[in-house]
Structure 1
Amino acid sequence: MSHVIGLTGQSGAGKTTVSRIFEENGFSVINCDEIAKICTQDGSECNKKLAQVFPGCFDEKLSLDRKAISKIIFSDKNMLKKFDDIVYPFITQLIMDKIDELSTTSEFILLDAPTLFESGTDKLCFVKIAVVADFEKMLDRITLRDKIDKELAKKRFASQLSCDFFKKNCDYVIYNNGKLSDTVSDALKVIRIIKEDINGKEKKT
């Protein structure tokens, strides 16, 4: 039996770093950003539906202009909801297909999902983990990583669930503010606790 672990948090918190630590310790990782890219690849069924609502963000090949659509959805919550309502069902189905595929060989599956709660995929998870960091650190990370200005980055943060929400609604919190060694240490502690908890429950059944 496979156990799905949800990993989430705001942009720039360091989920990729933490998911890599989990992968190095026996977890199969599903990267939901990569799943989203598959859903929105050129000419996809998802893009066909998106193009009806965001026609200016697509060319004749139904190729998505990610920067153009980001400016729209991160500035208007109503448009963000329309985007989410179209995209999430496609993403969720691919995630469930991937979980089924991995469950034949993997005991532990990590769902690296920035929008774990918004998409409803938190319901698939045995436990949920939040990765958090100071706002300025996250801001610096995503402006550098995504090559966007700070104003657009702040709009992105405003469209996301808050750090406090993740702390309140997740079972574990990993802080990623300082040295990598500290983040690794915290992640390893969570991994150990999760595996001990799962093994303990399995022995009782």
Structure 2
Amino acid sequence: MSKVLSIKMVVIGLTGGSGCGKGYICKIFSDFGIKSADADKIYHDIVSIPDSPCLAELSGYFGSEILKPDGSLNRSKLSQIVFASGAEKKLKYLNETTHKYVLNDCRKWLAERKADGDEIALIDAPMLFESGFDKECDFVISIIADYDQRVKRLKERDGITETQIKARINVQHTDNFFKDNSDYIILNNDGLDIRGQISEILHDIRLKTNGTKDIFSGGDNWQSN
């Protein structure tokens, strides 16, 4: 994917499969002075607000039993209903509904970043492609990692078995999908120079955004030490 842009604020979409280390990568971007919004956290915040418009739509479709007594989402009950018979149709509705609200909040956050004068902002979204938000990003960066690395991380983080991990990974996009649909790839295996990879990506983005050396306030601080 080749792009040359002349824009005031660069929007980066960051994605990748489970166990690839999106949170860790966001922390490194933060070291470069780049703020990020976590789409997963936005989703959890939305469904934790009793009587929110999102929950009103979901309960109208799936039934009021998906709500806790305080009006927030009962995630386990929703999962039981969604993944029962006819899961494909119900999952499609769930994703379309929640994506709508999550993306709306992402757009508000980006508008705030632009109003604050930020020159680059990052959206961390595991469902970036599924939601269609990749089309609203100037650049897409996908994180990949070797299978063994992902298994190790997910076992430590989530305490689940390799069988469960394999089932999760098998329904997610492949590395080849990410390579074919992204502007940049970060290989996040242990022992690699991740900061150096990110520095090179940011340098290339700087060149593609009109080739202006100081288009971002990070300037030469983007170069790896």
Q: Same fold (TM over 0.5)?
A: yes
- Partners of 1:154 and 1:80 in 2: how far apart? 20
Root-mean-square deviation (Å): 2.5
**Corresponding position: 1:101 with 2:109:** no
Q: Which of 77, 81, 88 pairs up with 2:92?
A: 81
Change (3 A) 1:73 1:172: farther
- Partners of 1:62 and 1:175 in 2: how far apart? 41
Deviation at 1:137, TM superposition (A): 2.1
Partner of 1:146: 158
Matched residue SS, 1:40: helix
Matched residue SS, 2:185: strand
- Partners of 1:70 and 1:142 in 2: how far apart? 21
Partner of 1:91: 102
List per-residue Cα deviations over 1:83-110 (Å, max 9, x = no partner).
Answer: 1011011011111111111102200011
List per-residue Cα deviations over 1:53-88 (Å, max 9, x = no partner).
Answer: 444543222322335545665784433222101101
- Partners of 2:60 and 2:184 in 1: how far apart? 40
Give the alignment's TM-score, normalised by structure 2: 0.78
Deviates more, 1:55-64 or 1:2-11: 55-64
Partner of 2:148: 136
**Corresponding position: 1:62 with 2:71:** yes
Partner of 2:209: 198
Larger Cα-atom Rg = 2
Deviation at 1:161, TM superposition (A): 2.3
Q: Which of 12, 15, 33 pairs up with 1:8?
A: 15
**Corresponding position: 1:158 with 2:160:** no
Q: Are the aligned partners of 2:13 and 2:134 in contact in 1 as well (CA < 8 Å)?
A: yes
- Partners of 1:32 and 1:140 in 2: how far apart? 24
Matched residue SS, 2:12: strand
Change (3 A) 1:53 1:135: farther
User: Any stretches of 5+ residues in structure 1 without a counterpart?
Assistant: none
- Partners of 1:74 and 1:142 in 2: how far apart? 22
Deviation at 1:122, TM superposition (A): 0.8
Deviation at 1:47, TM superposition (A): 1.8
List per-residue Cα deviations over 1:17-44 (Å, max 9, x = no partner).
Answer: 1111112112121111121122211312
Aligned amino acid, residue 24 of structure 2:
T
Change (3 A) 1:164 1:65: farther
Q: Greater helix percent: which structure?
A: 1
- Partners of 1:18 and 1:163 in 2: how far apart? 17
Partner of 1:127: 139
Partner of 2:4: none
Change (3 A) 1:64 1:156: farther
Identity of aligned residues (%): 32
Deviates more, 1:50-59 or 1:117-126: 50-59
Change (3 A) 1:65 1:149: farther
Aligned amino acid, residue 124 of structure 2:
D
Partner of 2:219: none
Change (3 A) 1:10 1:70: farther
Give the alignment's TM-score, normalised by structure 1: 0.85
**Corresponding position: 1:182 with 2:189:** no
Aligned pairs, number: 202
**Corresponding position: 1:48 with 2:48:** no
